[in-house]
Amino acid sequence: MKRLKVAVIGIGVMGRHHANIYAALPHVDLVAVVEPDDFRRFEAEAQFDVRAYATIDELLKHEKLDAVSIAAPTSLHFDLTQKSLFAGVHVLVEKPVVEDVTQARYLMDLSRDLRLILQVGHITRFYQAVQLLKQQVKRPYLIEARRLTPNARIQDVGVILDLMIHDIDIVLSLVDSEVKDMTVAGHSLKGSVYEDVAAAQIQFENGCIARFLASRIAPNAERTFIVTEPDQTTRLDFAKEPFTEMAVYKGQKNGNGGTHVKVDVRTVHEENPLREELQHFLARIRNDAEPIGTLEDDLRSLDFATQLIAKLERTSSDKVQQIIQTR
């Protein structure tokens, strides 16, 4: 098997996870990292025994690569991804791929024109419990997703693109229908221009309702996903890493003519979804795997999220105008 030469661009928290996994995988050579911060660059160079560069231009000038992982701030994704693709390098870029749908579509078309893999890092697609959920859900009419954390690790996008997009991606894979209506509200509470808390409700043409709550200033972490169907309700609890608790509630008739609820609870061991994701990316480069989620799926999730953001921004602007007019 051909050994693939890879580099990681951006050695923050997530980039370091990428580098650790690549360094341990067979048939892969982690050869370089890119990090503009001097201290983190020198630290990564020593830790991983690789060459370290301050810019992607230096990386592409000196290295012959098969693939890169891009774990830099979202605002840099477009430039980094475009340069990598033009250099003939396969790309895995952390979600969101970019903030703008038009730019995302351009990158996706470019990757296809150049016959290169462009994979967006939707890690929840590689959770075993999510894959089980997709297999068993048939007719959802209500979906409720809560994703809360006390940590705001990403600062250059709001909570919708940071956290809620994970659940948006899952919902869109479960509901085979167009969106009929959407409402959204949110707050910026730490002096940022981006929303820290957001709540949204979506109604699909087939009648299904999806409710989302995302926060990165919550007192405690919570990640739950509940799908209600006519004959059962399924609840996933992701907050017990490295396990996901999956509970299925079904109403059953008893001997007295009434009903009782039977609960089937199972614990799914999520061994390492990021490793699964990176291994899948490398397998696609070798033509050994089909994509789990297409570029069209990536684009739809991003489009959905940016519509919510645009609607939230319009709502906030209208409130400001109302305040000004009443003074």
pLDDT in tens, 48-77: 999 999 999 999 999 999 999 999 999 999
**E strands within the chain?**
4-9, 28-34, 51-53, 67-70, 90-94, 118-121, 142-148, 179-187, 197-204, 209-215, 222-228, 233-240, 243-253, 259-269
Q: Hey, what are 176's tokens?
A: 């085979």
Can you tell me the distance from the alpha carbon of 110 to that of 248, in angstroms, rounded to the nearest whole number? 43
In this prediction, residue 314 carries a pLDDT of 83
In this prediction, residue 154 carries a pLDDT of 77
In this prediction, residue 258 carries a pLDDT of 65
270 within 8 A of 127, measured Cβ to Cβ: yes
209 within 8 A of 140, measured Cβ to Cβ: no
In this prediction, residue 255 carries a pLDDT of 63
Residue 315 has a CB neighbour count (10 Å cut-off) of 14
In the predicted model, residues of the chain with pLDDT beneath 70 are: 255-258, 316-327
φ/ψ of residue 59, rounded to 5: -60, -50
In this prediction, residue 121 carries a pLDDT of 95
In this prediction, residue 65 carries a pLDDT of 98
What does CATH list as the number for 4-121? 3.40.50.720
In this prediction, residue 155 carries a pLDDT of 76
Please state the pTM of the whole predicted model: 0.90
What 3-state DSSP class applies to 156? Answer: coil
Can you tell me the distance from the alpha carbon of 158 to that of 173, in angstroms, rounded to the nearest whole number? 23
In this prediction, residue 326 carries a pLDDT of 43
**Taking the domains of the chain in order of start, what are their residue ranges?**
4-121, 125-274+305-316
Nearest to 96 by CA among 18, 166, 183, 197: 166
Name which CATH class applies to 125-274+305-316: alpha beta
